[in-house]
Amino acid sequence: MQPLWRLGVYGVVLAAIWVAAAWLNETTLHFAPLLVAALVPLGVALAAEPPSFPRRLAGAAVGAAVALAATAVLALSGHLDGPSLLPSGGAVAEAVAFSLAGAVIGLVLGMARRRGG
């Protein structure tokens, strides 16, 4: 079984790519926080043996934390300005909502993995 910290590093790498792309392009990458937050819980679920629920929940928490940290970096540096796909709130509110949604989606999709393999 992969250690949780290794999956967290994968999430940090994807978040760094998101931050670099947003920093260089000055565009709002709407679905990046969703992907960053979902990466870790899906990685936990795809382990060789089905993980326990607390381990899956920890993966979702790590994914959400990484995505929210990248959101904070972009928001505080002013690189998260722009339009939002949500009816209210700006790009920061959208990134927070998509970060949390990505963690939940990753957890639910991971739970859908069959126990037999």
pLDDT per residue as tens digits for the range 24-46 = 987 788 899 999 999 999 988 88
Give the confidence band of 2 by pLDDT, cuts at 50, 70, 90: low
Q: Is the pLDDT of residue 1 over 70?
A: no
Distances (CA, A) of 13 to 37, 58, 62, 105: 12, 18, 13, 20
pLDDT score recorded for residue 85: 86
In percent, the amount of the chain with pLDDT more than 90 equals 51
Distances (CA, A) of 109 to 21, 25, 44: 27, 31, 11
The mean of the pLDDT values for the chain is 88
How many whole angstroms from its chain centre is CA 85?
Answer: 17
In percent, the amount of the chain with pLDDT more than 70 equals 93
